[in-house]
Amino acid sequence: MPLWKLEPIDPTDRNWEASTYKGDVIVRAENSGAARLLAARAYGIATKQVFGEEVKIAPWDYSGLVRVTQVQATDDYTEDGAQGIVSPAAAVGAAGPGYQGNN
């Protein structure tokens, strides 16, 4: 299964308040959309709604906030295995195995 690197573009954007993690992530997923969804599930959190302000969105699903590129397997993470976060290690398993893709 392909590996995807998700990189925050601007971690100072206010929408990052809706994420528990703001660094690079490596995800094993069928496609880039599934990789984004897995990261959003692993790190997305609800934020306080302030009257008159826009609702903050979990940034992982948005191309203006997160760049996604397919990466090659390494000794640290391979294409073999189930969908999910493979790096950082603290999040491994946080987004899986609940996501089943388009099966």
Encode burial over 39-48: b for 16+ CB neighbours within 10 A, e otherwise.
Answer: bbbbbbeeee
**Band of residue 48 on the pLDDT scale cut at 50, 70, 90:** confident
- DSSP code, position 44: B
Give yes or no for residue 103 having a pLDDT over 80: no
Q: Where are the alpha helices (DSSP H) in the chain?
A: 32-43
Domain ranges of the chain: 3-91
**How confident is the model over 58-86, as pLDDT tens digits?**
899 999 999 999 999 988 888 999 999 99
Please state the separation of Cα 83 from the chain's center in Å.
12
Residues 6+ apart with CB under 8 A from 52: none
Q: What is the pLDDT of residue 90?
A: 62
